[in-house]
Amino acid sequence: MNRESERNHPTPANITTMNKRNAILITGTDTGVGKTLVARGLARALCEKGLKTLAVKPVESGVALESSPNEDGVLLAAATGQDHPTQALTRLTCPVAPPVAADREGVELPFEDWVREIEVLSNQADIVLVEGAGGFLSPLTWEASARDLAKRLEAPALLVVGNRLGCVNHTLLTVEALNRAGIPLVGIILSAVGEEDESFETNADTIRRSSSVERIASLPHVTDWRASLPHLKPVLDWITE
Ligand SMILES: Nc1ncnc2c1ncn2[C@@H]1O[C@H](COP(=O)(O)OP(=O)(O)O)[C@@H](O)[C@H]1O
Ligand SMILES: [Mg+2]
């Protein structure tokens, strides 16, 4: 196998091969691709399977001063019913990347505290889902991205992709970055974020044929997050099989 193809042959991961802390990074090819929707559905599905599941967002920007039911950290907590944390560990109001928002707001971003907090949570749960901010390499701080968080947590990643024209390239780039970082891939889920375009039906197969990633599932457009649960069954199997 040459180097190029090695990069596109990720190591599959499940709960047994995963990591000692049982954290899973929910990452994406972009912002607005369905990470939170998938994380909520998956968290609930894991809870319903009898696994103690916590879902956490280390840092969230673009939130109101007062916590609102629509922000990611709050939605994640509501999906599991957890009483801690009930919102992102660090909240910022500017709707830009966290370190940019933090600079504007004069806030220090406590990456080490996030790692410690997630480690504590993983001792209290069977699985902790960790949603990044933006895409896989989007900065969480000036020093660290979701890639660095996953490496510190020794967490595999579930990659969420917006199912639309252009997503094949974004997916292959992200898979290559995951492989380069040595982060096992749980699988890929293509989420129907918007209007279906001509590529919608073929994207999953195109990614499969271009990357040799076998674990690819699709989430159709759902009108309520709870309707995502049956479609997330393959992801549940990848994690627990
Ligand atoms: N499969 C889907 N069906 C319906 N709406 C979706 C789907 N995937 C994503 N969305 C919607 O797209 C928007 C962005 O999704 P979200 O989960 O917030 O993305 P991210 O967390 O990656 O920023 C939300 O309004 C979400 O409900
Ligand atoms: Mg989100």
Q: How much is the pLDDT for 18?
A: 53
> Is residue 17's pLDDT more than 60?
no
Q: Is residue 201 part of a domain?
A: yes
Q: Is residue 4 part of a domain?
A: no
Q: Is residue 87 part of a domain?
A: yes
Output DSSP code: residue 8: T
Q: Is residue 7 part of a domain?
A: no
Contact 8, 211 (CB under 8 A): yes
Among positive and negative, which fits the CA dihedral 149, 153, 154, 155?
A: negative
Average pLDDT over residues 186-191: 98
**Mean pLDDT, all residues of the chain:** 93
Q: Is residue 1 part of a domain?
A: no
> Is residue 21's pLDDT more than 60?
no
**Choice among 20, 35, 57, 151 that is catalytic:** 57
Q: Which of 154, 92, 160 is nearest to 128 (CA)?
A: 154
The strand ranges marked E within the chain are: 23-28, 53-56, 59-60, 90-91, 127-131, 157-162, 185-191, 216-219
**CA of 31, closest atom in ligand 1:** 23
Counting other chains too, the contacts that 210-213 makes at CB distance below 8 Å and 24 or more residues apart are 210/8, 210/168, 210/172, 211/8, 211/9, 211/171, 211/172, 211/175, 212/5, 212/8, 212/9, 213/8, 213/10, 213/175, 213/185, 213/187, 213/188
Ligand 2 geometric centre to CA of 5 (Å): 31
Q: How much is the pLDDT for 212?
A: 83
> Is residue 4's pLDDT more than 80?
no
List pLDDT tens digits, range 148-174. Answer: 999 999 999 999 999 999 999 999 999
Q: Is residue 200 part of a domain?
A: yes
List pLDDT tens digits, range 94-131. Answer: 999 999 999 999 999 999 999 999 999 999 999 999 99
Domain that holds residue 210: 28-240
Average pLDDT over residues 205-230: 96
Q: Tokens 């840092």 identify what position? A: 59
Q: Is residue 54 part of a domain?
A: yes
Q: Is residue 227 part of a domain?
A: yes
Residue ranges around ligand 1 (CB below 6 Å): 28, 31-37, 191-193, 219, 221-222
> Is residue 39's pLDDT more than 70?
yes
Predicted TM-score (pTM) of the model is 0.94
Is 57 annotated in the active site? yes
* Number of separate domains in the chain: 1
**CATH number for the domain including 154?**
3.40.50.300
